[in-house]
Structure formats: structure tokens, C-alpha cells
A = this chain, B = another copy of it.
Amino acid sequence: MSVVEPASAQLMNGTALARETLDRTAERARKLLAETGVRPCLATVLVGDDPASVTYVAMKRRRSAAAGIESRHLPLPGRTTTAELVAAIRALSDDPTVHGILLQHPVPAHIDERAAFEAIAPAKDVDGVTMWSFAAMAFGRDDGFVSCTPGGIMRLLDAYGVDPAGKRAVVVGRSPILGKPMGMLLLARDATVTYCHSRTVDLSSVVATADILVAAVGRPEFIRGADIKPGAVVIDAGYNPGNVGDVDAAGAGERAGLLTPVPGGVGPMTIAVLLDQTVLAAERVAAVAASTAVTSTAAAAR
């Protein structure tokens, strides 16, 4: 009979951090409304009626309302073409009363998702999905928006005092809105970053070098606990059926120093960053309007 060691990893409480983040977001939304009359507005676009997507969008809209953010919902039929979707998103990009745009993804297979994403104006890309936003993350700009899940992970690291500088970070997964931007955000914070993926040979030996490990592949318990470096910070960005992450949670719990639970880790932070960035988008518009008003007043006074 084997003796099971007690779990040693401290859990990173994404639910609590998301609540704190949303409280501050709601306070900023209230302040903006009081000072400028502007209520931040997030447009949500949903193509088709995939049940999971319907649920996600409904949750985002509820959280928006709770944070004092107006949500404008645009449901489109599943047969919508790429051209129609692009036109609908461009209209939202041009609408001055909309501050942020979320296209719920994945979209139906017949749609060119990238073309749809690129119809989002960078200044309204609060979900961080455009090519411009990706490059802005990679180049360390502070005038863009981050992809929400990687952005939420960076906030978790900060909240738990994990400084990526000089650390070895391993990102498993290379999707355009999760793995790739995750690596770029860690690199911008001076981690030594390795990207792993389905073609990586001897993944275990790479995982074993990670001071910070981010699993973002969407395969249940893909990362074995035994491969984790003792004391590592393990971020599980996977969310597979049955509340199972991409990391063997039991095994990781015995070796990691810090570990995000599934659920209650990364997931809640994703929505918190989305809404936080929606308010930021509105604040930026208001700041520009205010500086223009000051300039006009000064000109009129001359």
C-alpha cells in the first residue's frame, strides 16, 4: 500500500482575484459615468446557437451588467457568411457608442474567423484577438489590449508575487489567442520562454525545466505531475469536459509550488480582464474627448 503525500502546492485563487478585479472595474465604470456621462459599452457578437457559446456570452453579459457596463448583444444566424459578419463587426467598430467588441469564438467552420477578428478596430479589441493586438503584446506596447486569458494569467502571477524576470517559462500550446500571446507577455516581462506543441519531441524534458509552466493545449491531464519541477508555478489554462484541466492536478499538487485549480483558477480571470479592458477602452475615449474639449476651449478663448 503506497502512502499518498499530502498536496503541497498553494492554490492560486482565480475566483477571489477576479472578484477583486471586477470590484475595481465596477468602481472605475461608476466614476467614468459620474464624471463624463459615458457608460462603457461592450458589444457581444454570437454566430449560431452552440450551447456552450450561448452560455459563455450570457455569463459575460451578466457580469457586464453587474459591473455597470452596458452590453449590446448581436445574435446572428448560423448561416451568416464571412462577408456579413465582417460588415456587422465593422459597423460596431464605427459606432462611437460601442467601446469594446467581443466576437464569441469559435465561430462556425464556414466562416473565416481571422477575417472577422480583423474587422474589430484595434481600439475596441478588448478581447485581444486582432493581429495588431498580438504585435502590441509582443512589442511590449501599453496602448493596446492583451488577450484575456494570457492577460488574466499575468495578473495571477503578479497577485501571487511571481516575477517572471530571469525565470524559465514553458508554454505548452501555440494558438493565436492563448499560447502565442502568453509566451510574448512572459517574454516582455523578461522570462526565458520556450514554446512547446504537438510536434515537440521529448516534452517531459522541456516541462521539467519550467519555473513557470503554462498548459494551454485543451487535452485532459496532458501534463504529467511527475514531469513538473519541484516548486514550479503551474498555470492550467485548460478546461476540458468534467472540470478537468490540461494538467494532472493530483500529481501537480504534490510537486508545484503554486497551482491554479480547475475550475476557479484561470477561467474567472479571463472575464475579469475582458470587462476591465472594456472600461479601459471607454476611459481612453473619454480622455481623448476631454483633451479635445480642452483644446477647443483654449482655441475659443484665444
List A158-197 residues whose CB lies under 8 Å from chain B: 165-168, 174, 176, 180, 183, 187, 190, 192-197
Residues of B contacting A132 in the complex (Cβ-Cβ under 8 angstroms):
131-132, 135
A139 to B176: give the CA distance in the assembly, Å. 7
Do A139 and B114 touch across chains, with their CB atoms under 8 A apart? Answer: yes
Q: How far is the CB of A179 from chain B (nearest CB, A)?
A: 10
8 Å CB interface, A116-151 against B: 131-132, 134-136, 138-139
Does more than half of chain A's interface fall in helix, strand or loop, or is it mixed?
mixed
Verify A201–B197 contact, CB threshold 8 A.
no
> How many chain A residues have a CB neighbour from B under 8 Å?
28
Identical copies in the complex: 2
Beta-carbon contacts under 8 Å, A74-132 to B: 114, 131-132
Taking CB atoms, residues of chain B closer than 8 Å to A139 are: 114, 131, 134, 176, 180
Asked if A302 CB lies within 8 Å of chain B CBs, one says no
Contact between B196 and A192, CB atoms less than 8 A apart: yes
Known: A135-B134, A138-B180. A192 touches B174 (CB 8 A): no
A193 touches B194 (CB 8 A): yes
* Shortest Cβ gap from A228 to chain B (Å): 18
- Render A236-253 as a binary contact track against B, CB cut-off 8 A, 1 for contact: 000000000000000000
Q: Chain B nearest CB: distance from A36 CB in Å?
A: 28
Cross-chain contact B195 with A193 (CB below 8 angstroms): yes
B166 touches A199 (CB 8 A): yes
- What 9 A-B pairs are tightest by C-beta distance, nearest first? A131-B135, A190-B199, A194-B194, A192-B200, A166-B201, A134-B135, A135-B135, A193-B195, A166-B199
Known: A138-B176, A187-B197, A192-B206. 18 other contacts (CB 8 A): A132-B132, A134-B135, A134-B138, A134-B139, A138-B138, A138-B180, A139-B176, A139-B180, A166-B200, A187-B195, A190-B199, A192-B194, A192-B197, A192-B199, A192-B200, A193-B195, A194-B194, A194-B195
